[in-house]
Structure 1
Amino acid sequence: MTTPSGTVADAGQDNWLDRYAPDPIKPYGRLARWDRPIGFYLLFWPCAWGIGLAANANPAMGFGWWAAILMFVGAILMRGAGCTFNDVVDRDIDAQVARTRSRPIPSGQVTTRQAFAFLIAQALLAAIILVQFNAFTIAACIGSLVLVAIYPFMKRITWWPQLFLGLAFSFGALVGWSSQTGSLDWPPILAYVGTILWVIGYDTIYALQDIEDDALVGVKSTARLFGPNVRAVVAVLYAGAYVLWNAAALLAGTGVIFATLALGAAGLLAWQLGTLDIERPKNPFQRFYNNHYVGMILTLALLADWVW
């Protein structure tokens, strides 16, 4: 897999970072995946769900728009910091995989020390966002950093690294709710568990892109673990996620509006599985990316039910 000088193989061609960013900024933007916003979208949507569930549980409190804005910015920073840390840890593995060997560290665009300094800068900015919230939410977010820190190592020791990604990436469902209430309850807990299943499912689809290289390098993943049963297992995961999301919404006080609009998300999940084709190079990534719209639909469904 060859790319123009400095670009990254798994980034979209002619993306905004490569076109418009100053040259000294580009390698750091690539480390943080600014050229691929899907990651911070998927990190943000569970935060919005938590806020939306809290709004439906207490309609007079309203939808936490300011919290949503802060969490969106925080998602960009924390996703960037997580990707930077992941690239530091995986720099030797990335050099052996066609899709990732053009990333900034293995391709020599930045040094490991420079990447680590950039990681610290992003974490400090995220800390400024974090202290705007209540003490319970701050403590929960700090606790989630353990999951972020261990995730890059999981592909070396377990067939379930996607589970650990799910534990970290789903945390927004808890902090979105707690940012509004200062505590936890069953709706965000059910949403959190459901989102973990969703993340395992969509990241398994994402991992199908690297299944051959992963086998050669010795990297473990649920895509390799599920093998020929990957479609069926992801279907079970998606179904479980959908049931738990609806249970969370019902406990939070939503009604027919959420249940009806959420069917759109179910339709997208079914489309992903029905059209998944590992033999077509871009097919798994397109199905993975489609989960951005799943997150958007569920957020709008919660918002619409609250407005009604």
Structure 2
Amino acid sequence: MTDKAQAPDPHGEELSGQVSDAVIDNWVDTKAPAWTRPYLRLSRADRPIGTWLLLLPCWWGALLAASAQGTLSLRTVWIMIGCALGAWLMRGAGCTWNDITDRDFDAKVARTKSRPLPSGQVTTKQALVWMAVQCLIALVILLSFGPFATLLGVASLALVAIYPFAKRFTWWPQVFLGLAFNWGALLAYAAVAGTLTAAPVFLYLSGIAWTLFYDTIYAHQDKEDDALIGIKSTARLFGTNTAQWLKRFLIVCVILFAAAVIEALINGSVLSLIVAIGGAWAMGWHMTWQLSRLDIDDPKICMKLFRANRDTGLLAALFLAISIFL
């Protein structure tokens, strides 16, 4: 494996193979053993926002189910911990698969050509083995969630497999990302409640609208390179009308989140219901804040706002958590 020195670390030494859009001073490039770094970069461990965006719908589902039950049991706590571990692993496996399928495209895009595969830090065979290892460890965790949740988790692999190819045949690849990234809302709800109702379905659809919001912002970073190599995205599709489309996704996201809460908690405590609906308001407020600062022609602002969606999702989770105890 060959690494290309790209940036100095805080102590003045060169960092070898650092990816261009990695978080500054991230632990992978500064603390992890050198031999592990290419694999951790494949898993985006140096860019943790994706793990958060995969994890948060899981926590929404678990917390909404717990709120409907009126208690935060030890099993629910484990499911939330297991979802955190599983999100890290499956986001890593998904990103590895994405980089395998996109390695030729990534080599032609300024932001992605420094990734481990196009830059030669790992081979395709090594990446496939690493992907399999992550999936197997995640499966062990998933099996503890019960048979129904396990089946849901296995079913999600079809969406993960399809997503990297979506941008080649549709202008709406963000829909496929939303279908895959928010599946955890169904899985975690089922793991806690033992069944699925309309509530987690509404929550799932809300998450998809949220994904359309944040990933359209993200895609504006690459729109010029994507146009040159023929990659489709909602950023290219919407163009200068992006803000109007994002407002629509915001509204749909908030309405569906509120619908999920009402469906799950309508027969319980009124105070719990009001606080949980506050999660929808908090999401809407934070997404509105993002829109007020959006500049689709400034990649740095687009990346900053994309990463800010961790806080969007955490706000919703906080309100759901509080509602359990009311």
Global fold match (TM > 0.5): yes
Q: Aligned-pair distance for 1:61?
A: 6.4
Q: CA deviation at 1:12?
A: 1.6
Q: What is the CA distance between 1:261 and its match in structure 2? A: 5.0
2:297 matched to which residue of 1?
A: 279
Deviation larger for 8-17 or 214-223: 8-17
Q: 1:12 aligns with which of 23, 31, 38?
A: 23
Match of 2:41 in 1: 30
Could you tell me which residue of structure 1 aligns to residue 226 of structure 2? 214
> What percent identity do the matched residue pairs reach?
47
Structure 2 length normalisation: TM-score?
A: 0.91
SS in structure 2 opposite 1:3?
strand
Cross-structure match for 2:32: 21
Aligned length: 307
Rounded to whole Å, the distance in 2 between the matches of 1:186 and 1:261 is: 18
Structure 2: gaps of 5 or more residues: 8-15, 266-271
Provide the rounded CA distance (Å) in 1 between the counterparts of 2:155 and 2:277. 33
Kindly provide the CA deviation profile for residues 233-285 of structure 1, in whole angstroms up to 9, marking residues without a partner as x: 01101110111001111121142222335433221100111110123331001
Task: Tell me whether 1:3 sits opposite 2:14 in the alignment.
Answer: no
Counterpart check, 1:174 vs 2:186:
yes
Shift of 1:62: 3.9
- Corresponding residue to 1:223 among 235, 241, 250: 235
The reply to whether residue 39 of structure 1 matches residue 50 of structure 2 is yes
Instruction: Give the root-mean-square deviation of aligned CA atoms.
Output: 1.3
CA distance in 2, matches of 1:131, 1:21: 29
- Deviations for 1:97-149, whole angstroms, at most 9, x for unmatched residues? 00000000000100111111100110111111111111110111111100000
Q: Report the equivalent of 1:270.
A: 288
> Structure 1's 261 and 177: CA in aligned 2 closer, same or farther, altered over 3 A?
closer
Is the alpha carbon distance of 1:85 and 1:242 closer, same or farther for their aligned partners in structure 2, counting shifts above 3 Å? same
Q: Distance in 2 between matches of 1:279 and 1:169?
A: 26
- Secondary structure in 2 aligned to 1:156? coil
Equivalence for 1:293: 311
Task: Measure the CA separation in 2 of the matches of 1:88 and 1:109.
Answer: 13
Which residue, 96, 116, 140 being the options, matches 1:128? 140
- From 186, 209, 222, the counterpart of 2:198: 186
Q: 1:257 aligns with which of 275, 288, 293?
A: 275
Task: Please tell me whether residue 71 in structure 1 is matched to residue 83 in structure 2.
Answer: yes
Q: Which runs of 5+ in 1 are unaligned?
A: none
Secondary structure of the residue aligned to 2:222 is helix
Matched AA of 1:228: T
Quote the Cα distance in structure 1 between the aligned partners of 2:28 and 2:218: 22
Deviation at 1:159, TM superposition (A): 0.7
- Cα deviation, residue 56, structure 1: 1.6
Change (3 A) 1:83 1:261: closer
Are the aligned partners of 2:66 and 2:324 in contact in 1 as well (CA < 8 Å)? yes
What is the distance in 2 between the residues matched to 1:47 and 1:58?
A: 17
Match of 2:13 in 1: none
